[in-house]
Structure 1
Amino acid sequence: MLSVALMSPATVAVAQSDVHKHESPAQPEPAPLSEAQKSFALMKTFAGEWEGPVKTDMPIAAGMDGVPVHVTMRVTSRGNVVVNEFQEANTPLDPAKYDHPVTMFYLDSNQLNLVHYCDAGNRPHMTGKMSADGKTVEFDFADLGGSDKNGHMHHAIFTALDENRHTEEWTYKLPNGQTVHARFDLRRVK
């Protein structure tokens, strides 16, 4: 009986040490997201199909005012890239006949980047920053690949209105330095 009484505290001690062996070590808190990561996360929320009218301030393009555009945004490359494609709504996918620019968004170190593969035959690169309210990402021109003989996309702003509405504002800089602004008021269709 005495041996059973003496073994009981030892058994309890061993059992308690075994319990501690199976507890997982404390997990470190994940690092807070950088501003660039937050901006990229917002851009990912735009994944889907969107349609809405375009409004422009260029008199020569006044016929475009109110014309519906179709925008596709998708997350690809294991979440490392967001692709934006747009064209006039209800037109066939024929990039040889219709405008069909493609824009890529990606993180590089601690910077959100945009590269716009333009129908003008060039590739403007812009860098993005999020607004204080966390609803807008604004992209400023950084550099240009390709020819500037027809001008280039120079500025872009993406604003989340709610989960089914967002705006895109694009500024195109003409060779003479004049700028043209276009605003897409988009609603999610898929």
Structure 2
Amino acid sequence: MLPVVLMSLSAMAFAQSDAHKMDEPKTPAPKSEAQTSFDAMKTLAGDWEGPVKTDMPVEAKVDIKPLHVSMRVTSRGNVLVHEFQEAGTPLDPAKYDHPVTMLYVDADRLTLVHYCDAGNRPRMTGKISPDGKTLEFEFADLSGSNKYGHMYHAVFTIIDANHHTEDWTYMMPGDKPVHAHFDLQRTK
């Protein structure tokens, strides 16, 4: 009988020693750099407008109007959709440029895929600056045609909750870069 009582007491003591572990809050694993970068990008969700400046050659310059940028988080928080178009134009993809960019964490990388009006999909990987204000994306590879060039580089700089800039580099045929700077204010 004594061995049965001792075993019962031992089992009870063991069960009680582990019971408190279930009540302790679990410490979340530290976020990866990619997840930290993505979380910073998600703070830009909303609608933005502002002027665009480019360094296009004079002979190629067109009248550049203010830009409207829309960013929204989707897919249960796993994707940031970035769309831009000339401010005031209708959403008519057959008539107006309306590229879409998707940002997401892929394993340990922040990934950007730009679905370009030029008929291609450049993929870039991004990193956040030490101060957490700048996210820079470097070209990784390209799917689709390169006949008209492709988007090559992107930098997002968070000024404050209602102001950010975007710098995009488009690589023209013959590896001639064209830079565009968007200075954007939150509209909602």
Q: Note if contact 1:54-1:64 (Cα within 8 Å) is conserved in structure 2.
A: no
Residue 64 (structure 1) shift: 4.0
- 1:113-132 superposed matches below 5 A: 113-132=111-130
- Secondary structure at the counterpart of residue 51 of structure 2: strand
Q: Name the residue aligned to 1:135.
A: 133
- Secondary structure at the counterpart of residue 112 of structure 1: strand
Deviations 1:127-155 (Å, cap 9, x if unpaired)? Answer: 00111111111000000000001000000
Matched, 1:165 2:172: no
Taking the aligned partners of 1:64 and 1:105, their CA distance within structure 2 comes to: 29
Taking the aligned partners of 1:23 and 1:172, their CA distance within structure 2 comes to: 55
**TM-score normalised by structure 2 residue count:** 0.86
- 1:2-17 superposed matches below 5 A: none
Residue 33 (structure 1) shift: 1.1
Q: Name the residue aligned to 1:14.
A: none
Residue 63 (structure 1) shift: 3.3
Task: Give me the CA root mean square deviation.
Answer: 1.7
Residue 21 (structure 1) shift: 6.2
Q: Which of the pair has more CA radius of gyration? A: 1
- The one-letter code of the counterpart of 1:79 is G
- The one-letter code of the counterpart of 1:69 is L
**TM-score normalised by structure 1 residue count:** 0.85
Q: Name the residue aligned to 1:77.
A: 75
Pick from 86, 89, 105 the counterpart of residue 87 of structure 2.
89
Provide the aligned length of Structure 1 versus Structure 2: 171
Deviations 1:45-102 (Å, cap 9, x if unpaired)? Answer: 010000000000002453345x200000000000000000000001111111110000
Deviations 1:136-188 (Å, cap 9, x if unpaired)? Answer: 11000000000001000000001100000011110000111110000100000
Taking the aligned partners of 1:99 and 1:78, their CA distance within structure 2 comes to: 28
Segments of structure 2 that go 5 or more residues without pairing to the other structure are 1-15
Taking the aligned partners of 1:128 and 1:137, their CA distance within structure 2 comes to: 6
- The one-letter code of the counterpart of 1:129 is K
**C-alpha distance 78-182 of structure 1, shift in aligned 2 (>3 A):** same
Identity %: 67
